[in-house]
Amino acid sequence: MLLRRIIARSLLQTGVFAALLFGPAGTLHWPRAWIFFGVLAVASVWMIAALYPKHKAILEERLKPPFQSGQPPLDKILVGILLVTLLGATAFIPLDVFHFHLLPAPPFAVSLLGLALFLFGGWLVYRTLVENSFAALAVRHQGRQRVIDTGVYSVVRHPMYAGASLFCLGMALWLGSTAATIAMLAPILSLAIRSIFEERFLRRELDGYADYTRRVRWRLVPGVW
């Protein structure tokens, strides 16, 4: 049952991305988009196979909705802003590529770098899920929650947000829109703001988190912030 739900959720998310990209494009003749979906499909199957069944708990957690009971009202607002900006920036990619042409397209080498960033971002998300079975979609205290400071959490305090940021930037670069790459800074900024709120919550609710923030200085980008 869990595996069927995971597959169904993955197909739904892929369908949403397909609608956001091919709908505004007005055409299915977009080779880079098809390559993107091919890479996404392979990466998704690999991730599910790597996490199931050993990490069932985190897979079940990720199936929960983004708005949950017990979630602070401010976090619901921040999640709403994140979803709106992410969906909007994603739909803006085909609008710019096929209609607006606001800025020159990135060189092919830069677009390839974008594909590499997309894959690396996905790997960071995977490593986050392996390390932290408490990586919930909503900010809330979980009964047996403890501070995780191993693996990717020893480098940055929010590796999932870092991975998602690379995913967003890489997608826009690979699909060929410089303007949309800039637009992706909106959901990334939303993640950055949410990380600040989340840390305030965890400092208050989770024993040892304040000490962890002193040991690991960087939130999203090592050496920067």
**What sign for the dihedral angle of Cα 62, 52, 1, 11?**
positive
Residue 217 in tokens: 């200085």
Q: What letter would DSSP give residue 106?
A: P
Q: pLDDT grade, residue 185 (50/70/90)?
A: very high
Q: Which stretches within 96-216 are classed as H helix?
A: 108-131, 159-175, 178-183, 185-205, 209-215
| 8 Å CB contact between 128 and 190 | no
| 8 Å CB contact between 164 and 115 | no
| 8 Å CB contact between 165 and 85 | no
Q: pLDDT tens, 143-180?
A: 567 888 999 999 999 999 999 999 999 999 999 999 99
Q: pLDDT tens, 40-87?
A: 999 988 988 888 888 777 778 777 787 887 788 888 999 999 999 999
φ/ψ of 155, rounded to 5, equals: -105, -50
